[in-house]
């Protein structure tokens, strides 16, 4: 592995790390844009670990014949604008035909015009906001969108919790959070048995810490809901739940789309039991019975000495989905990779059977689970 500093934009310095890459006909360099520093760094590093494991397995099994995958990794520092600069550098200077990442929907939204204009594939393992892939034939996403997660999640969580009075709170400064909250609100408002008794929002720009939410959370406390729908990124989940607990909201279950286990455990470590009973609408859990998922858990644990988290799984899956496309592509030019990705149907993955729809969004079965004893347990 070697590192170097490249410059893009108005004096912006980006750390680009080339992992096993080389100017070699037998090596295919893949651009990776992730938050390896800043507020989302834990998730970004976790995802890169999953990607690296899959890359090494693909290369070791020679799934692409004599071609080896290599990553050229850019740290976007958990800031949307840095993702734009990173993608430009990777395309213009490193000449990559495909970008894996970014992590958030807000960042993914901003790089769509670049992928479209420069005709390079953008493949996000985690972006889940509604409608992004429909904006460009060059964008693919392997995480389920809120359109597929939320309806099933509300159906199962309502049956489990029996809520009638609910509150919502959203970080309105984030694309995924807004998209999740919009879908949640749409479904709840259409249900005659459920009333939204408090609807709160705040703005936390990417890369910044969450502010004081006393006013918003006091309104929720006074409304006395049966459940709280929380739409936000990991730092929002941590900030809202810990602040709410300090204000006296201690027994009301939270429901949060794509709530990752390590974020649950981080909250419970900070405030004992604060995330117990929380419900998540997820794409993968360590307890999955899918054979490929079990292999992933075993191989990741053997390498890192600990079981994988959600973000590692999503990174791992994306590389194998990409490898499937590369194996069937006519060439490693971006247009050929795009066509091969668009053709993927019923592929066996750690998620189970995986397909892309006509827009480049993922199709497979979501998972609904709740927190019990600091672990996720699937709700049937």
Q: What is the DSSP string of 264-296?
A: HHHHHHHSTTTTTT-EEEES--TT---HHHHHH
Q: Residue 267 in contact with residue 273, Cβ under 8 Å? A: no
Residue 9 banded pLDDT, cuts 50, 70, 90: very low
pLDDT surpassing 60 at residue 18: no
pLDDT digits (tens, 9 = 90+) for 297-351: 999 999 999 999 999 999 999 999 999 999 999 999 999 999 999 999 999 999 9
Task: Return the number of other C-beta atoms located less than 10 Å from residue 95's C-beta.
Answer: 12
pLDDT score of 95 more than 80: yes
User: Residue 289 has what pLDDT?
Assistant: 84
Whether 15 shows a pLDDT value over 90: the answer reads no
pLDDT at 171 over 70: yes
My answer on whether omega of the bond before 102 falls inside 30° of 0, hence cis, is: yes
What average pLDDT does the segment 84-91 reach? Answer: 97
If pLDDT is split at 50, 70 and 90, which confidence band does 88 have? very high
Structure tokens at 22: 């080389």
Quick: pLDDT tens for 49-84: 999 999 999 999 999 999 999 999 999 999 999 999
How many Å apart are CA 190 and CA 176, to the nearest integer?
Answer: 21
Q: Is 78 left (phi over 0), alpha (psi -120 to 50) or beta?
A: left
Sole residue written with tokens 């892939």:
133
Residue 215's φ and ψ, nearest 5 degrees, are -65, -45
Share of the chain above pLDDT 70, in %: 93
> Does position 7 have pLDDT exceeding 60, yes or no?
no
Count CB atoms within 10 A of the CB of residue 198: 20
pTM over 0.75: yes
Confidence (pLDDT) at 25: 65
b (16+ CB within 10 A) / e for 110-125: bbbebbeeeebbbbbb
| Residue-averaged pLDDT of the chain | 93
242 vs 217: CA distance, rounded Å: 11
CB 73 within 8 A of CB 100: no
Confidence of residue 8 (pLDDT cuts 50, 70, 90): very low
Inter-residue contact 205 to 211 (CB < 8 Å):
no
Both tokens of residue 168? 């919502």
Q: Which of 58, 88, 51, 74 is nearest to 5 (CA)?
A: 74
Q: What is the pLDDT of residues 261-300, one digit of tens each?
A: 999 999 999 999 999 999 999 999 999 888 999 999 999 9
What is the average pLDDT across 178-189? 98
CB 240 within 8 A of CB 232: yes
Q: Which parts of 314-358 are beta strand (E)?
A: 347-349, 352-356
Please report the pLDDT score of residue 11 as a whole number: 32
How far is CA 345 from each of CA 20, 70, 198, 348, 357, rounded to the nearest angstrom? 31, 25, 42, 9, 9
> Can you tell me the distance from the alpha carbon of 99 to that of 25, in angstroms, rounded to the nearest whole number?
19
- Measured CA distances, 255 to 33, 150, 202 (Å): 29, 10, 18
């Amino acid at each position: 592995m070697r590192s170097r500093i490249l410059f893009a934009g108005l004096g912006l310095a980006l750390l680009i790390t080339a992992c096993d890459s080389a100017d070699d006909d037998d090596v295919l360099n893949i651009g990776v844009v992730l938050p390896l520093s800043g507020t989302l760094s834990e998730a970004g590093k976790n995802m890169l670990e999953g990607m690296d494991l899959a890359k090494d397995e693909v290369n070791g099994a020679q799934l692409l014949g004599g071609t080896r995958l290599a990553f050229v990794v850019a740290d976007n520092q958990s800031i949307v604008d840095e993702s734009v600069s990173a993608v430009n550098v990777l395309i213009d200077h490193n000449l990559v035909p495909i970008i894996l990442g970014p992590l958030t929907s807000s960042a993914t939204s901003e790089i769509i015009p670049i992928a479209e204009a420069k005709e390079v594939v953008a493949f996000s393992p985690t972006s889940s906001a509604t409608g992004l892939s429909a904006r460009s034939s060059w964008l693919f996403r392997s995480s389920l969108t809120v359109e597929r997660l939320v309806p099933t999640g509300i159906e199962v969580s309502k049956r489990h919790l029996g809520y009638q009075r609910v509150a919502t709170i959203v970080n309105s400064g984030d694309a995924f959070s807004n998209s999740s909250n919009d879908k949640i609100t749409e479904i709840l408002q259409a249900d005659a048995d459920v009333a939204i008794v408090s609807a709160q929002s705040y703005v936390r720009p990417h890369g910044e810490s969450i502010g004081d939410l006393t006013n918003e959370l006091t309104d929720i406390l006074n409304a006395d809901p049966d459940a709280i729908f929380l739409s936000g990124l990991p730092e929002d989940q941590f900030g809202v739940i810990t602040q709410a607990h300090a204000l006296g909201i201690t027994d009301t279950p939270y429901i949060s789309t794509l709530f990752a286990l390590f974020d649950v455990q981080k909250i419970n470590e900070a405030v004992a039991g604060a995330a117990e009973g929380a419900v998540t609408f997820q794409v993968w859990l360590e307890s999955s019975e899918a054979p490929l998922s079990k292999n992933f858990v075993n191989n990741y644990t053997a390498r890192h000495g600990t079981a994988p988290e959600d973000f590692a799984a999503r990174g791992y899956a994306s590389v194998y989905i990409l490898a499937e496309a590369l194996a069937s592509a006519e060439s490693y030019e971006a247009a050929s990779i795009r066509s091969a990705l668009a053709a993927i149907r019923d592929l066996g993955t750690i998620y189970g059977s995986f397909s892309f729809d006509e827009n480049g969004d993922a199709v497979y079965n979501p998972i609904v689970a709740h927190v019990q004893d600091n672990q996720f347990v699937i709700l049937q």
